[in-house]
Amino acid sequence: TSTNAILYSPLLYSTLLVSHLLLRQPMLWMAKHRSAATFATFAALCKPSPPPLSLSSSPSFTPTLLFYSLRKTRAFATAHGTAMSTMNVEQPSISETIARLRTTDVASKPRFLVLDGGTGEELFRRGVPDDRQIWSATALVHEQHHDTLKQVHRSFLEAGAHCVTTNSYGVVPGVGFGPDEMSRLATLAGRIARQAVHEHQRDSDAAKSLYVLGSLGPLVESYRADLIKPHDEGAALYQILGSALGPHVDAYIAETMSCAKEALQVVQALHDLATTDEGGEQSEVTFTPRPLLVSFTLGSDGNLRDGMSAPSSIRSLLDGSKTKGTGVELIGILFNCAEPEAITKAVDEINKDEELSSRLHSSGIVLGAYANRLTPVDPNWTMADSDAAQPFRNDLDEMQYWKDFVHPWVSQNSLKLIGGCCGITPEHIEVIAKHT
């Protein structure tokens, strides 16, 4: 139908208006049940504005702009280099993809989900200043680094990653950010990551599903189980971050958790966010529940930073989630920001524990790992007291990381989520993606 017909046919004009009103409920349903990317795409077709990066309100527009929104529909499809029928609508949720990873069918693809590498260290490698107070959040605080951050995300996608992680790890009170700043910067981190995915899908012929993981890091210091916030205070702070990231991500990832108690603060926060009043009713507008991945950091001995073994810590997380996280969908448990040798020790312990392995399998939880390339970190280390970055190892180049660690993890230990942390570059991820 031509634009003139739309403008001058009252019947068609009225029909379009009624169609828009009828579409509002399906859009709200997608906001609750589908990926953020799907809803953002669908909402963009019904607005005269560019593709929304914030999904906090339901789409609406005035009748006088109806014809313009239809023109924007085609412009949006053209700008994103894809046909209208393939605009991300059929992408499975990350929960569905992880469920497929658990199948024994060797023909099932993907067989592994490739994560990204270390965003912070990659930012510094590209010229962003290494501020020892706010660390990677420098790329959010200073607008001139926003494009570099987006390019870092895209570099991991171009290397073959299925997921990018928001640069919200350092957006925490421990470095001096208040609640309003945390919310604003976490929102920005989510928007930039989502934009990177959109642009990569626009420019790439690949049809694979891509996801954004919302990073929830330690609120005070990494690696320090002795410095975590009291439970209720920590959960309240994680609510701020979870609420800000939620509209832009497909799942949350609680990263570098030093103990089960720290991870349970995240679980509590996501549970609380999913209720809007004392009656515990689910929110359909202000917050859309997302699945959760929990990733623990380890000492050189393979135990968590509080000294508990990996199997014991996982049991504590699973048991605590029953009471603190009703309704929170835990889909994966990983290990990160640790020496790869330590991760191997932890995974070996889990595999020897038949009862725990069975419990994880029956719960639909997969295991994963993304080691760092750092030299061993002192147990008493703090960012606040450090005056220089931790040195890198010289024995973990791209092929060594794959051959000595990642390949055994995926071939012998059945890990399904694989990537890298500090110092693991797009070049490392490219090798992993090609081999998996």
Closest among 240, 248, 295 to 270, alpha carbons compared: 240
* Binding site per annotation, positions: 337, 421-422
* Binding site per annotation, positions for Zn(2+): 337, 421-422
- Is this structure's pTM higher than 0.85? no
Q: How many CB atoms lie within 10 A of CB 22?
A: 9
Backbone angles phi, psi at 335, to 5 degrees: -130, 135
From CA 350, how far away is CA 373, in angstroms rounded? 23
Q: What is the predicted pLDDT for the residue at 157?
A: 98
Q: What is the predicted pLDDT for the residue at 285?
A: 44
Q: What is the predicted pLDDT for the residue at 414?
A: 86
Q: What is the predicted pLDDT for the residue at 106?
A: 59
The answer to whether 216 and 189 have CB atoms below 8 angstroms apart is no
Q: How many CB atoms lie within 10 A of CB 137?
A: 25
The order of strands in the sheet holding 211-216 is: 113-114, 417-418, 366-370, 330-336, 292-296, 251-257, 211-216, 163-165
The answer to whether 138 and 129 have CB atoms below 8 angstroms apart is yes
Instruction: Break the chain into its structural domains and give their ranges.
Output: 111-275+287-377+387-435
Q: What is the predicted pLDDT for the residue at 55?
A: 34
From CA 49, how far away is CA 269, in angstroms rounded? 33
Q: How many CB atoms lie within 10 A of CB 132?
A: 14
Q: What is the CATH number of domain 111-275+287-377+387-435?
A: 3.20.20.330
Q: What is the predicted pLDDT for the residue at 23?
A: 52
pLDDT digit string (tens) for the chain, length 436 residues: 344 444 444 554 455 444 545 554 544 444 444 444 444 444 444 444 344 343 333 343 333 333 333 334 333 333 433 333 233 447 899 999 999 998 766 566 678 999 999 999 999 999 999 998 899 999 999 999 999 999 999 999 999 999 999 999 999 999 999 999 999 999 999 999 999 999 999 998 766 899 999 999 999 999 999 999 999 999 999 999 999 999 999 999 999 999 999 999 999 999 999 875 344 444 444 678 899 999 999 999 999 999 999 999 999 999 999 877 677 999 999 999 999 999 999 999 999 999 999 999 999 999 999 999 999 998 899 988 888 889 999 999 999 999 999 999 999 878 999 999 999 999 999 999 999 9
